[in-house]
Amino acid sequence: MVSTIKPVEIQCCGPLHEMNLYSDTTITLGDSVDLHAEAFLEGNQIFYFWEPPGLIQCQGCPANNIKTFHDQVIVVKATDQYNCEAKDSIQIRVDVKRPIFSLMYSHQTMMESTTALPDMVTL
C-alpha cells in the first residue's frame, strides 16, 4: 500500500504587507533627496534592498540620500526574517534648467554708446 501525503501550505506572510516610500518628486540639478522607506511585515528584522545599486549609499538601511543627474526610478524591496516581502518605487525627476548669464548684450547696437547688463537666460 502506498500512501499519498498532501502538501500542507503554511502562510507565514499575511496579506497586509505594505511598503511606504514617498510620492514622486522633482529635484533641481545638483541637489539630492532624502528617502525613507517604512515596511510593515510580519517580522521585525527587516532588510531593505534598494535599486539601482549605483546610487545607493546604504544597502540594508531604511533611509538613503539619493543624488542623480537625470530622471531615475528608485525601487526598494523589504524582506523580513520570514522572507515576507513588500516593495515600492518612486520616480525622481531632475529639473535640468539652470540659469546662466548671457555674454551677449541685448538691445545694443554698434552705434549705441550705452552698455547694458548681461541678460539672465534659462537653458
Q: Can you give the pLDDT of all 123 residues of the chain as single tens digits? A: 444 444 544 445 666 677 888 789 999 999 999 999 998 888 889 999 999 989 999 999 999 999 999 999 999 999 999 888 999 999 999 998 876 766 665 555 445 555 555 555 555
Q: For residue 102, what pLDDT is reported?
A: 65
Q: Are strands 63-66 and 33-36 parallel, antiparallel or unpaired?
A: antiparallel
Which grid coordinates belong to 50? 534598494
Q: For residue 34, what pLDDT is reported?
A: 92
CATH 3.40.50.620 describes domain 18-95: no
pTM above 0.85, yes or no: no
Q: For residue 56, what pLDDT is reported?
A: 92
Torsion angle, alpha carbons of 24, 49, 31, 70, to 10? -70
Q: What are the sequence ranges of the domains in the chain?
A: 18-95
